[in-house]
Amino acid sequence: MLRNRARPLVAVGSAAIAGVSLAGCAAAVPMSPAADANSVECAQVTVHLPDSMGETETRRETDAQATGAWGEPTSVLLRCGATEPGPTDLPCYTIKGVDWIVDSPTDDPESAISTAYGRSPAVEVIFSTTKLTGASVMGDLADAVGYLPTTGRACTSAEDLPS
């Protein structure tokens, strides 16, 4: 289920990344807010977003509430207020205390989607895998995303299964 929901986001994200690349000096990165972007929790995330991603991607202004963008051309897009994903068979990683589901769409091998798992509302991040690693992006965002309340869901591994 998450795969089907995530694919359109990649297409929109990739188009936004490409559009910003062509615009070059655009004042604000054009984005659409997530459904629950008006939540108090997303306001906390937004004010705690990092000024940079990795060593080279600096934060840019966006034109939608509870969003973030980094890089010129844009290499990372973030939306807070997304619906929390349910259980999935996609890879799930815990980085600096925050669980993330990672989807690598087959139709765009140069980007990935990370969605905070076990946090509500959720944060969705689309990033260029040619410029940054998932561990770098998720690690840089962990402090800000850590302000979201937990729901009790968490990443599990084969060791967590009953014997």
pLDDT at 59: 97
Structure confidence by residue, pLDDT tens digits, 13-72: 444 444 444 445 557 999 999 999 999 999 999 999 999 999 899 999 999 999 999 999
> In the chain, pLDDT over 90 holds for what percent of residues?
74
Assess whether pLDDT exceeds 80 at residue 3: no
pTM reported for the whole predicted model: 0.81
With cut-offs at 50, 70 and 90, classify the pLDDT of residue 129. Answer: very high
Kindly give, in sequence order, each residue whose CB lies less than 8 Å from that of residue 126, ignoring residues fewer than 6 positions away. 9, 10, 13, 14, 17, 76, 77, 111, 112, 113
Assess whether pLDDT exceeds 60 at residue 74: yes
C-alpha to C-alpha distance for 140 and 134, rounded to whole angstroms? 10
pLDDT at 158: 67
> Cis bond leading into 85, ω under 30°?
no
Amino acid type, 62? T
Helix (H) or strand (E) holding 144: helix 134-145
Burial of 76 (0-12, 13-18, 19+ CB in 10 A): buried
